[in-house]
Amino acid sequence: NAGVMQNPRHLVRRRGQEARLRCSPMKGHSHVYWYRQLPEEGLKFMVYLQKENIIDESGMPKERFSAEFPKEGPSILRIQQVVRGDSAAYFCASSPRTIQGNQPQHFGDGTRLSIL
């Protein structure tokens, strides 16, 4: 499967724990985006990264949330001290290097985070 890979597919955490969500973009894609989806809603943008750089984090809460896309390895979305309101599906998308062109973002199948 050469698509966007996310793991884990399901993650259960207790309040106050940390959640780490991983995303490996499609081969050849150097742009990664994270989105959050609540039930019966559209996806909401969180953060846009290129290798080792955060380009736009305007949709990500300032506290408890962080994201990285290191030179080697997957992109990580990290949520510290999780609360019940963090329960959602988190999707990662990637697109090719040439962002100035009209290249659609391709999505993974998401991580469903449940907070007990």
91 binding other proteins? (CB under 8 A):
yes
Inter-residue contact 58 to 81 (CB < 8 Å): no
- Binding segment (CB under 8 A) for other proteins, from list 11-19, 41-49, 63-71, 74-82: 41-49
Inter-residue contact 82 to 19 (CB < 8 Å): yes
Q: Could you please report the per-residue DSSP string of 93-115?
A: EEEES-TTS----EE---EEEEE
In the block, residue with structure tokens 């724990």: 17
Binds other proteins by CB under 8 A, chosen from 1, 39, 63, 71: 39
Binds other proteins by CB under 8 A, chosen from 41, 73, 78, 80: 41
The answer, yes or no, to whether the previous bond of 8 is cis (omega within 30 of 0) is yes
Binds other proteins by CB under 8 A, chosen from 22, 59, 74, 76: 59
15 binding other proteins? (CB under 8 A):
no
Angle at 85 between CA 58 and CA 76, to 5 degrees: 50
If the CB atoms of residues 12 and 55 are measured against other proteins, the closer one turns out to be 55
Binds other proteins by CB under 8 A, chosen from 60, 79, 108, 115: 108
- The half-sphere exposure of 57 on its side-chain side, counting CA atoms within 13 A, is 14
Interface residues with other proteins (CB under 8 A) are: 4, 6, 31, 33, 35, 39-45, 48, 55-56, 58-59, 91, 93, 95, 99-100, 102, 104-110
